[in-house]
Amino acid sequence: MIEFRGVSKTYPGSERPVVNELSFEVPEGEVCVLVGPSGCGKTTSMRMVNRLIEPSEGQILINGEPNTSMSGTQLRRKIGYAIQQIGLFPHRTISENIGTVPGLVGWQKDRIKSRTEELLDLVGLDPDNYRDRYPAELSGGQQQRIGVARAMAADPPIMLMDEPFGAVDPITRERLQDEFLHIQDNIKKTIVFVTHDIDEAIRMGDKIAILKEGGILAQYNTPENILSAPNSDFVSSFVGSDRVLKRLSLTRVGDLDLEPPNGNAEGLPRLSNQMSLKDALSEMIGAGAERSVVVSGGSVLGSLTLDTIRQLSGKATK
Amino acid sequence: MLGGIIETFQRPTYPGLVWTHVQLSVLATVLGVLISVPVALAVRNTPLGAAVAVNIGNLGRAIPSLALLALVFPFLGFGFTAPLIALTALAIPPILINASTGLREVRKEVVDAARGMGLSEGQILTRVQLPIAAPVIFAGVRTSAVQVVASATLATFIGGGALGDLIVEGFSRGDNAILLAGALSVAALAILTEVIFAVLERTFTPKGLKIAQQRRSG
Amino acid sequence: MPTVALQSLQPEFFDWEWLRENFLEEVWPAVIGHLYLSFVSVGIALVISLPLGVLVSRFRRLYTPVLFVTGFLFTIPSLALFAILVTVPGIGIGPTAAIIGLVSYSLLVLIRNVVTGIDSVAPETIDAARGMGLTNSQILLRVELPLALPVIVAGIRIATVTVIGIAVIGGFISAGGLGQLIFDGIDRNFPTLVLTGALMATVLAISADVALLVLERYMRPWARRARGAN
């Protein structure tokens, strides 16, 4: 669990603070995304967790203890760190890169070796092929995966990720996001994730902290709540005027209680139960249909009407 | 002519001249490294300090070698010490420039990642910055060494007793064979130094960096 | 040879009196002589290197042999080269031998920089120029050389500073210049002369370096403006 208590940061010689009295809590096992426009202090805030930057005021507590209770170096060995430009050591092999922190904290060689294999598998790269390669031999997407693997190497309970999927094209990024969410489903680390992209924040975050310029916390809540009830014009415009649609993208067709199939299914659009409500809406409007059939595998699960979608968009679900 | 040259090589005094030349060169280069590298390390994190170091290096590079030798002469007279000091001063600029720029050219995100992962400053220096900067530093030492070998020829004018002695002797006696013997010896030493350092450079370039270089130029 | 002992660190060590009296007669001609040696040598080397460099950039096969020859000249210790040139009948001691030697040393740097400079011009630029209807010599004079100029000036800078340095050694073969002061001073056991020659040569070399560096920076108005925009 990570807690920010009245954290501020002002650089000497500057009048305005970069981070201004930030206070919020990241529950254990959750992903908290810090998002906001340039200059909102999101990266600075993240870097104060592992003390790469020290706060001018306030405290950051990790599991109840101030993060100053040990040296910066020791603290960082317990926190995973993945940045946008990745920063793989060009002069070391992939396995040496991954094994850096385990080596620092004194793991046995065998354990490091098997952990490296485990992680390479986890991020979808064949260990036998990639273990002894060098960063220069890998593509941007592959390097980015190694960056994440390296951050997870010593199995830290907490991770800091600053636009870790930023250096690749949108298609690869989406895939990396999916893979990471899948990993997080199983492992449940406490993660502080920084991005400038509200869509990424909505996808990745259990909680989102929207920051304003000057490092002020605008709103801190689940994506669902922020989208249905933005607390200010700033948040409203930041999440975008399509926030209703964005909210729909949070729910999958299969998660709903569907109406029973109602007789004639001919000519109706067939939707997968994995599809998001937003995409379902798009399909039905495109087909000019008031109603659609939801399927999984070959079998029909139920049907979905535009009315249902309208009702769900209208109210704020808790 | 060729006979005269070979005769010169066979003189009993010849090995001594070569040895003095080598001694001066090696010592000056080593001292140059011992002075320049710590300075470059000390300023590696301060942009201003590094800029000063590089500028001093660049200015130092312009100083004529004979002028350096002449400058120490009135204070230290003839002998071994004066040329050694002058040649060390000559060796410093290329090493200082390369060590300083090499360390600073390590990409910022690599250092940031290392720090963020929990390497101490000392570990960042020895495990990340120095290995990555090594090829550039070596190139600097190589430039320096070759320059020193060539300039050690001039030590003869302040009694340094290296291979320049042969050149001066050949000139004043009007005997080109002796002159050429000296010239060829220095040229050979210079080429040998280049070759040794080329090998050293390749040995000390980490494999990962070689691959990155190939990819860039490929 | 007598050693100049620590007693020489006395006020008479550097004879300011002498310097004030003899500056115009002994020191100033040496400075002029040195400038003459340097500029004439770099000038001649440039006149050879520019066309040769352009030629080499067009006919790549010439590059290796040309580099080889000029590089070879570069490894010969300057002292030896001067000494040998002096023995060639018709040259003798004096500035001529020094100039020939200095020119050979400059050739390597200058040719290499001319070629690199021309190479650094983006092919698209030349293509565009040709597409606009410029003739080959127009392209050379109006596009390639101006764009290559910063690199060429960098080469001139290195060559000039190197030449000023090596010209000092010319004093050994009575080529004049500031080296002459140094050698005379050693012969006459007159530290003032040695130091004056050495210091002036140093100052000259550094000033040339700085001045040409400023020129080099000034030569890239398009790069300067682009950097300004960032």
Domain ranges of chain B: 2-217
Model confidence band, residue C5 (pLDDT cutoffs 50, 70, 90) = very low
pLDDT of C90 over the 90 cut = no
- pLDDT tens per residue, chain B (218 residues)? 788 888 888 888 889 999 999 999 999 999 999 999 999 999 988 889 889 999 999 889 899 999 999 888 888 878 888 899 999 999 999 999 999 999 988 999 999 999 999 999 999 999 999 999 998 899 899 989 999 999 999 998 888 889 999 988 888 888 888 888 888 899 899 889 988 998 888 888 888 888 877 776 54
Which residue range is the domain that position C147 belongs to? 22-221
Q: Is the pLDDT of residue C60 over 50?
A: yes
Q: Cα–Cα distance between C90 and C100 in angstroms, integer?
A: 13
Q: What is the DSSP letter of A261?
A: P
Indicate whether C108 belongs to any domain: yes
Residue C67 to residue C91: CA distance in whole angstroms: 26
Q: Residue A97's pLDDT is what?
A: 93
Cβ neighbors of A221 (< 8 A, separation 6 or more) are A207, A208
pLDDT at C7: 36
Percent above pLDDT 90 for chain C: 24
Q: Is residue C230 part of a domain?
A: no
Three-state secondary structure of A19-37? EEEEEEEECCCCEEEEECC
Q: Is the dihedral of CA B206, B41, B95, B31 positive or negative?
A: negative
Nearest residue on chain A to B215, alpha-carbon basis: A136
Distance from CA of A284 to the nearest CA of B (A): 47
Average per-residue pLDDT for chain A = 89
CATH of the domain at C87: 1.10.3720.10
Residue partners of A301: CB distance under 8 A and separation at least 6: A254, A258, A273, A294, A295
Q: Minimal CA–CA distance to B155: which of B48, B80, B64?
A: B80
What confidence tens digit (pLDDT) does each residue in A82-117 have? 998 888 998 899 999 999 999 999 999 999 999 999
Identify the residue among A86, A91, A142, A158 best suited for mutation to test binding to B, counting B beta carbons within 10 A and taking the highest. A91
The arithmetic mean of pLDDT across residues C36-47, rounded, is 94
Query: What is the pLDDT at residue A5?
Result: 93
pLDDT at residue A293 tops 90? no
The alpha-carbon gap from A131 to the nearest alpha carbon of chain B, in Å, equals 13
Residues C195-200: what's their mean pLDDT? 90
| pLDDT-wise least confident of A145-154, A157-166, B174-183, C1-10 | C1-10
The answer to whether the CB atoms of B64 and C201 lie below 8 A apart is: yes
pLDDT band at C2 (very low <50, low <70, confident <90, very high): very low
Nearest of B163, B27, B149, B19 to residue B84 by alpha carbon:
B27
Whether residue A304 contacts residue A316, with contact meaning beta carbons closer than 8 Å, is answered with: no
With contacts defined as CB-CB under 8 Å, which chain B residues touch C5? Answer: 77
What gap in Å lies between CA C198 and CA B71, rounded to an integer? 6
Q: Which of B74, B167, B187 sits opposite C83 (nearest CB)?
A: B167
b/e burial code for range A217-252 (CB count within 10 A of at least 16 → b):
bbbbbbbbbbbbebeeebbeebbeeebebbbbbbbe
* pLDDT for C229: 37
Task: Establish if C171 belongs to a structural domain.
Answer: yes
Gap between the Cα atoms of B93 and B178, Å rounded: 33
Kindly state the average pLDDT of the residues A66-72: 91
Complex ipTM > 0.95 = no
pLDDT score of C225 more than 60: no
A26 strand-pairing partners:
A2
Q: Give the minimum alpha-carbon distance from B29 to chain A in angstroms, rounded to a whole number.
A: 27
User: Residue A85 gets which letter from DSSP?
Assistant: T
Of the candidates B58, B79, B190, the beta carbon closest to that of C75 is on B190
Q: Is C98 on the interface with B (CB under 8 A)?
A: no
- Determine the pLDDT at residue C13: 62
Interface of B with A in 72-131 (CB under 8 A): 107, 109-120, 123, 128, 131
d(C-alpha A55, C-alpha A32), whole Å = 20
Chain B contact present for C87, CB below 8 A: yes
Mean pLDDT is highest, among A233-237, C37-41, C73-77, for C37-41
Is B45 within 8 Å of chain C by CB? Answer: no
Decide which of 1.10.3720.10, 1.20.58.60, 3.40.50.2300, 2.40.10.10 is the CATH code for B2-217: 1.10.3720.10
- Indicate the number of domains in chain C: 1
Q: Does the pLDDT at position A238 exceed 60?
A: yes
- Between chains, do B59 and C8 touch, taking CB under 8 Å as contact? no
Neighbors of chain B with 3 or more C-beta pairs under 8 Å: A, C
How far away is chain B from the Cα of C150, in angstroms, using its nearest Cα?
18
Q: Check CB contact under 8 Å for C208 and B68.
A: no
Asked if C79 and B164 come within 8 Å (Cβ–Cβ), the reply is yes
- Find the angle CA(C101)-CA(B168)-CA(C33) to the nearest 5 degrees: 45
Place of tokens 């595998």: A297
Which position has the higher pLDDT, A274 or A77? A77
pLDDT band at C228 (very low <50, low <70, confident <90, very high): very low
- Percentage of chain A exceeding pLDDT 70: 98
DSSP character at residue C192:
H
For A211-223, the pLDDT digits (tens) are 998 889 999 999 9
pLDDT at C223: 53
> Per the domain annotation, does C17 fall within a domain?
no
Tell me the one-letter amino acid at A30. E
Q: For A291-310, what is the mean pLDDT?
A: 84
Quick one: pLDDT at residue A123?
86
Q: Which of residues 71-130 of B touch C (CB under 8 A)?
A: 71, 73-75, 77-79
What was the pLDDT predicted at C147? 83
